[in-house]
Amino acid sequence: MAETGYSATLIAPAKINLSLTVLGRRDDGFHDLISLVAFADLHDRLSVTLSETGSDQLTVAGPFAGSLDRDNLVLKAISAFRKEIGPVPPLSITLHKAIPVAAGLGGGSADAAAILRLLAREHGLTTMAPSIQAIAAGLGADIPVCLDSRCRYMRGTGTTLDPEESGFARYPALLVNPGVAVPTGAVFGALAAEQKAGRDISGPRSLAEDIVTGRNDLEAPAVAVAPEIGPVLSALSDLPGALGARLSGSGATCFALFETDSERDRAAERFRQTYPAYWLHAGALRNWEMDSLFPQTPAFSG
């Protein structure tokens, strides 16, 4: 029986597409791709208690709460879990939204993955269990890779995952968003998909090279949809110490990586002077340990 005083905290890290190659358009209208995905120290936070109303409740707070659809992936993930795996008591969830919405950082996917991690643990399942992966893939292409928040390649429509990249190292990172909405559909619409079929994916051959010099095939179409992205990429590339700059996913968040925290911090201050109104996060890429994604999280019962 569930504890009446139950209270849990879940961490939902932002994902970064360090590289993204579009291989071609499929017959079903989706695109095959290969993307190296890592995760930032930036994260949403979910506070979970047992609902007193007999139904699931979701409250959204934080700096990006106003732009989030209340009928979001968190509630859909709970419903899908009940249908496919087993019972879940009615939950009351407060989502503190710190990741910009529709920004190429997978915030909604990260939130859904966080609640699936909790429900999987309650039923004695791992995040890589086929049933959990199937639910995640059915909800959204980025959700499977967000389940364990560790660096790996994803392929196909995004739901086929390579083994974790053991050679991943922490990188200081500067994330910038110019505050424009960039719908993913519009970016893929601007992509000349017919020219991508059978795309040669030759390029960086090592993990370190792909992290620093990889490419994003959605960058040019995203700039066409939202021209504000172009100057951000140029400004980031020109910052002293920046190891290049790219777009994450379909945007509009851009990032630059650095070798040291001090280089990143100096670059952040310089960027703020030029674009004081833009959202900026000076942090780092990291591989999250599973325990760190579950702070203060007891079991539902016992």
Catalytic site residue from 44, 142, 148, 217: 142
**Token pair belonging to 146:** 């967000």
Does the active-site annotation cover 15?
A: yes
Instruction: Give, in order, the Cα–Cα distances in Å from 103 to each of 13, 34, 97, 215, 282.
Output: 14, 19, 13, 18, 16
Angle between helices 130-139 and 107-122 (to 10 degrees): 150
Catalytic site residue from 15, 97, 148, 217: 15
Q: Are strands 160-161 and 254-257 parallel, antiparallel or unpaired?
A: unpaired
User: Which letter does DSSP use for residue 235 in this model?
Assistant: H
Residues 117-133: b if buried by 16+ CB within 10 A, e if exposed: bbbbbbeebebeeeebb
Separation of CA 129 from chain center: 20
Cis peptide before 252 (omega within 30 of 0): yes
Is the Cβ–Cβ distance between 194 and 77 less than 8 Å?
no
- Residue 201 neighbours by CB distance under 10 Å: 12
Does the active-site annotation cover 76?
A: no
**CA 230 to CA 228: how far, in whole Å?**
6
Q: Catalytic positions, please?
A: 15, 142
